[in-house]
Amino acid sequence: MKFQKICVLGLGYIGLPTASTFATHGVQVIGVDVNPEVVNTLRNGGLHIQEPGLRTLVQAALRSGNLTIQNQPAAAEAFIIAVPTPFREQKRADLRAVEAAAQAIAPLLQRGNLVVLESTSPPLTTVEKVAPLLEMSGLRSGEDFYLAYVPERVLPGSILRELIENDRVIGGVNRASAEAARHLYSLFVRGELLLTDATTAEMVKLMENTYRDVNIAVANEFARLAERFGINVWEAIELANRHPRVNILHPGPGVGGHCISVDPWFLVEAAPDLARLIRTAREVNDGQPHHVVEFARQAFGDLHGLRIAALGLAYKADVDDLRESPAIEICRLFQQAGAEVLAFEPYRQEPQVDGIPLGRDLNQVLQAADLLVVLVAHRQFRSLSAAAAAQLMRHRQALDAVNLLNRAAWEKEGFQVLKVGEGLR
């Protein structure tokens, strides 16, 4: 089976790298996005998301003539749906973009076409929601056209490498559909292509992220316990991990991103009576930003009028992705407590993000601040000088939510240092 022309719907963190990778491997690709700003930016040679190596890849795809950008899908031999699936009220999956994409594909479907859903979705989405919408074409999934669910398994910051090298789970509505999808992804994937059914593939994706979420929740609970017992959780974790069968993750300000902080709720939605541990882990991690702010209040007193220098707004280190970021939530909570927050996010240049003002550099953010709050372990922050901060700040106080600061060096400069996971001194 050969695929000479494919259509990728959704040009975000997954869709754009996927479309560009296919294009640089000799396939004609129609990249589709309903956001006119995204379409115009890409057509004009710009980039609306940041990922190492992505600009070079997209430019190569466009120069090759294999990648074209438009706002409507067109006929192709294969269609890939890579649109967002956020959650809405009551933590329920918002599948409207997936449904709209399937509806847009249906009039274009021809016998022998392949449709792949990559968007993270609750179990049974492919067979119970996407298939019926595509079958409005009059064609039957698994018989007249192939239908599969193929989740992405990449890490922001390493997307381009992992897109090619990672194993991929290929879930078809029947064996023929899985085989068709395997032929498509074999065009560039070097990892193993593992065939299963569509619902199992959906479950696998959710299990992977839920597993990490539950383990992060345990680490965050350990941190809270350590604070109460007056010990250092970072030392305790290091010692516990010397056990040959223990690997405790690091605590922090919470869990963000579009995957780990969202996907477990899809399982809670699908089976609330069974997913009790999963719900509890989500509640622990969702509550971590509130815990961090309350921890600061206990250590530093009334937050009203405090000038806070917040370092980092991304959901994790060394990426520009702000989706579901706990750092943003913490800044909002500080603002609600009456503090004045000025943040520095090295991967963002706009004057503010979600009502949080951004400084142009570290010096501006630290100038006359009362409290330094480290929320993201960006590499740009690792060389931050305690002596330089002491010269700029009005009061020498620091809250470290990611264990980035060297306590001895900062205390030598007269700072009171508070770390998440350490008892108050």
pLDDT in tens, 249-291: 999 999 998 889 999 999 999 999 999 999 999 999 999 999 9
Q: What does the pLDDT read at residue 132?
A: 98
Domains of the chain: 5-205 (3.40.50.720), 288-419 (3.40.50.720)
pLDDT at 146 > cutoff 90: yes
pLDDT band at 197 (very low <50, low <70, confident <90, very high): very high
For residue 117, list its beta bridge partners: 81, 149
The two structure tokens encoding residue 207: 């299990």
- Sheet arrangement for strand 146-149: 67-70, 28-32, 5-9, 78-81, 114-117, 146-149, 168-172, 193-197
Q: What is the mean pLDDT of residues 132-137?
A: 98
Catalytic residue among 91, 129, 259, 412: 259
Give me the percent of the chain exceeding a pLDDT of 90: 91
Contact of 73 with 103, CB cutoff 8 Å: no
Specify the DSSP class assigned to residue 347: T
Q: What does the pLDDT read at residue 111?
A: 97
Q: What is the mean pLDDT of residues 199-208?
A: 97
pLDDT band at 156 (very low <50, low <70, confident <90, very high): confident
pLDDT at 405 > cutoff 80: yes
pLDDT at 424 > cutoff 70: yes
Q: What does the pLDDT read at residue 2?
A: 83
pLDDT band at 5 (very low <50, low <70, confident <90, very high): very high
Q: Average per-residue pLDDT in the chain?
A: 95
Contact of 369 with 306, CB cutoff 8 Å: no
pLDDT at 40 > cutoff 70: yes
Alpha helix ranges (H) inside 301-406: 326-336, 362-366, 386-392
Q: Sign (positive/negative) of CA torsion 19, 24, 25, 27?
A: positive
Q: What is the mean pLDDT of residues 23-39?
A: 97
pLDDT at 107 > cutoff 80: yes
Catalytic residue check, 316: no
Alpha carbons 366 and 357: distance in angstroms, whole number: 13
Contact of 237 with 187, CB cutoff 8 Å: no
pLDDT band at 425 (very low <50, low <70, confident <90, very high): low
Specify the DSSP class assigned to residue 173: S
Q: What is the mean pLDDT of residues 282-307?
A: 96
Q: For residue 399, which of 320, 334, 353 has the smallest C-alpha distance?
A: 334
pLDDT band at 155 (very low <50, low <70, confident <90, very high): confident
pLDDT at 90 > cutoff 80: no
pLDDT band at 77 (very low <50, low <70, confident <90, very high): very high
- Number of Cβ within 10 Å of residue 32's Cβ equals 29
Catalytic residue among 7, 205, 316, 331: 205
Q: What is the mean pLDDT of residues 124-148?
A: 98
Q: What is the mean pLDDT of residues 219-229?
A: 96
Q: What does the pLDDT read at residue 86?
A: 85
| 348-362 pLDDT, tens digit each | 888 889 899 999 999
Q: What is the mean pLDDT of residues 390-418?
A: 96
Contact of 329 with 255, CB cutoff 8 Å: no
| 335-349 pLDDT, tens digit each | 999 999 999 999 988
Strands (E), 199-333: 307-311
Contact of 73 with 104, CB cutoff 8 Å: yes
Q: What is the mean pLDDT of residues 3-32?
A: 97
Give the global pTM: 0.89
pLDDT at 231 > cutoff 80: yes
Least confident window among 98-107, 155-164, 247-256: 155-164
pLDDT at 1 > cutoff 80: no
Q: Find the radius of gyration of the CA atoms of the chain.
A: 24
Q: What does the pLDDT read at residue 50?
A: 85
Q: What is the mean pLDDT of residues 205-230?
A: 96
Q: Sign (positive/negative) of CA torsion 58, 62, 67, 68?
A: positive
The two structure tokens encoding residue 21: 């990778």
The two structure tokens encoding residue 117: 């859903």
Pairing type for strands 397-400 and 168-172 reads: unpaired
What is the number of H-type helices and E-type strands within the chain? 17, 17
pLDDT at 138 > cutoff 90: yes
pLDDT at 89 > cutoff 80: no
Q: What does the pLDDT read at residue 161?
A: 95
Catalytic residue check, 205: yes
Contact of 97 with 55, CB cutoff 8 Å: no
